[in-house]
């Protein structure tokens, strides 16, 4: 499969104060930004081969009426039975340039055309994580850095969906991403091949477990 994980996000409460728990175990924060027209803001944690993003609804009216309304961020953030997760994928090579799954184009206000996301057709199925493809990102040859919290080995997203949509089935084949059925929504991130054999469960504050 000509796909790999670019980054993953978790929808959390406004200002994402819960993200401070990552700082407490030594993960460094990069920077945050507002998403004009989408009604969201974020806090970002960047690594050598990807990123973890804590996303929140900053302006509900903008999120409901702006160009990103069909992403359903307020709905996902406001109901614990819905998946609060999303993944963004990019291609590994230019050998295949077609969109990897059925979907629709999302042109955010904060990107200049033609820089637009390809959003999976499962976006209206809120128990599944949101799946987005980034066609304007060229293949990147990355070398995983050595150390602690340097590179993402794998992200596993648990969903309460019993049967995966075609979009989710394709996303499940991307490098460094695993989708699994479960009784609750949960994200697990493994850093640096779990070299230290340590783990931290951030529930109930965040549906997140980190292994390093």
pLDDT in tens, 147-199: 999 999 999 999 999 999 999 999 999 999 999 999 999 999 999 999 999 99
pLDDT of residue 95: 84
Note the pLDDT tens digit of each residue in 100-156. Answer: 999 999 999 999 999 999 999 999 999 999 999 999 998 887 777 889 999 999 999
Q: What mean pLDDT comes out for the span 3-25?
A: 96
User: SS3 for 100-146, per residue?
Assistant: CCCEEEECCCCCCCCCCEEEEHHHHCCCCCEEEECCCCCCCCCCCCC
More confident of the two residues 39 and 144: 39
Give residue 210's region: left, alpha or beta (phi > 0; psi -120 to 50): beta
Say how far apart CA 61 and CA 81 lie, in whole Å: 22
Q: Predicted confidence band at 70 (pLDDT cuts at 50, 70, 90)?
A: very high
**pLDDT of 97 higher than 90:** no
pLDDT of residue 93: 92
| DSSP H or E run through 188 | strand 186-191
**pLDDT of 38 higher than 90:** yes
**pLDDT of 35 higher than 80:** yes
As a whole-number percent, the residues of the chain with pLDDT over 90 amount to: 93
Q: What mean pLDDT comes out for the span 42-70?
A: 97
pLDDT of residue 96: 81
User: What's the Cα-to-Cα distance from 145 to each of 22, 50, 189, rounded to whole Å?
Assistant: 19, 12, 16
Mean pLDDT for the chain overall: 96
User: What's the Cα-to-Cα distance from 105 to each of 34, 132, 137, 181, 198, rounded to whole Å?
Assistant: 21, 10, 15, 27, 40
The closest of 109, 101, 130 to 38, measured between CA atoms, is 109
Structure tokens at 172: 């499940």
pLDDT of residue 145: 82
| Order of strands across the sheet that contains 3-11 | 32-35, 40-47, 50-57, 3-11, 85-91, 130-133, 117-120, 103-106
């Amino acid at each position: 499969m000509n796909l790999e994980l670019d980054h993953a996000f978790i929808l959390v409460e406004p200002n994402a104060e819960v993200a401070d728990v990552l700082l407490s175990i030594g993960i460094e924060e990069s920077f945050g930004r507002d998403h004009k027209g989408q009604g969201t803001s974020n806090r970002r944690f960047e690594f050598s081969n990807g990123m973890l993003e804590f996303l929140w609804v900053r302006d509900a009216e903008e999120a409901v009426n702006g160009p990103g309304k069909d992403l359903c961020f307020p709905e996902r953030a406001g109901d614990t039975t819905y998946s609060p997760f999303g993944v963004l994928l990019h291609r590994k090579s230019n050998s295949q340039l077609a969109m990897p799954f059925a979907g629709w184009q999302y042109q955010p206000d904060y990107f200049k055309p033609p820089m637009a996301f390809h959003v999976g057709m499962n976006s209206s199925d809120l128990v599944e994580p949101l799946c987005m493809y980034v066609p304007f990102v060229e293949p990147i040859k990355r070398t995983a850095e050595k150390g602690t919290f340097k590179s993402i080995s794998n992200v596993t997203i648990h969903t309460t969906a019993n049967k995966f949509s075609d979009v989710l089935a394709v996303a499940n084949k991307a490098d460094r991403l695993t989708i699994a059925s479960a009784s609750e929504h949960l994200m697990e991130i493994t850093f640096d091949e779990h070299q230290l054999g340590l783990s931290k469960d951030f529930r109930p504050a965040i549906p997140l477990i980190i292994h390093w």
